[in-house]
Structure 1
Amino acid sequence: MDYNYPYFYTDTICNFAHLLSDDNLKMIIINSLKFLVDQKLIEVYGYVIMPNHIHLIWNMLKLNGKESPAASFTKFTAHQFRKYLLVNSPMLINQYRSQKNDRVFQFWKRDPLAIPLSKESIWIQKLDYIHDNPIKEKWNLCKYPEDYKWSSANFYETGIDQFKILTHFRD
Structure 2
Amino acid sequence: MELALCYFYTATINNFQHLLADDILKMVIISSLQYFVQKKLITRYGFVIMPNHIHLLWYIHQQNGKESVAESLAKYIAHQFRKHLLHTHKLELFQSDKDDRQHQFRKRDPLAIPISSESIFISKLEYIHNNPIRPHWKLCTYPEEYRWSSARFYLEGKDEFNMLTHFRA
Give the TM-score taking structure 2 as reference length: 0.98
User: How far off is 1:131 after superposition?
Assistant: 0.2
Amino acid at match of 2:106: W
Superposition RMSD on alpha carbons, in Å?
A: 0.6
Name the structure 2 match of 1:105.
103
Matching of residues 18-167 of structure 1 within 5 Å = 18-87=18-87, 89-90=88-89, 92-167=90-165
In the alignment, structure 2 segments of 5+ residues that lack a partner are: none
Hey, what's the Cα distance between the residues in 2 that align with 1:98 and 1:65? 28
In the alignment, structure 1 segments of 5+ residues that lack a partner are: none
Secondary structure at 1:118's aligned position in 2? coil
User: How far off is 1:60 after superposition?
Assistant: 1.2
Segments of 4+ moved more than 2 angstroms? none
Name the structure 1 match of 2:3.
3
User: How far off is 1:97 after superposition?
Assistant: 1.0
Hey, what's the Cα distance between the residues in 1 that align with 2:168 and 2:99? 44
Hey, what's the Cα distance between the residues in 2 that align with 1:41 and 1:106? 26
Secondary structure at 1:64's aligned position in 2? coil
Q: State the aligned residue count.
A: 169
Give the TM-score taking structure 1 as reference length: 0.97
Secondary structure at 1:31's aligned position in 2? helix
User: How far off is 1:98 after superposition?
Assistant: 1.0
Identity rate, percent: 60
